[in-house]
């Protein structure tokens, strides 16, 4: 099994933030009530969930790493 890498998690977090920011900018330019608006809203919510998972994995990885180094 692969070990958790904080470097990869940081890169993934950075990329998800970039994608989320792009989607939010595009969403602001999209007409209200359009299918594209709803699609972008769903994508932004998914990016938020991905960030939550990455944060949880980062925290868990740090805890696991600290427990094994004792």
Burial of residue 58, with CB atoms counted within 10 A of its CB: 0-12 exposed, 13-18 middle, 19 or more buried: middle
What does the alpha-carbon distance between residue 31 and residue 53 come to, in Å, rounded to a whole number? Answer: 31
Q: What is the pLDDT along the chain (70 residues), one digit of tens a residue?
A: 455 566 788 899 999 999 999 999 999 999 999 999 999 999 999 999 999 999 888 887 665 555 544 4
pTM for the complete prediction? 0.75
Largest alpha-carbon pair distance within the chain? 56
């Amino acid at each position: 099994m692969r070990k958790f890498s904080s470097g990869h998690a940081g890169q993934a977090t950075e990329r998800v933030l970039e994608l989320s920011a792009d989607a939010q900018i595009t969403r602001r330019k999209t007409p209200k009530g359009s299918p594209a608006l709803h699609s972008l809203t769903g994508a932004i919510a998914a990016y938020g969930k991905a960030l939550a998972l990455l944060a949880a994995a980062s925290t868990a990885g740090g805890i696991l790493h600290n427990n094994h180094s004792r």
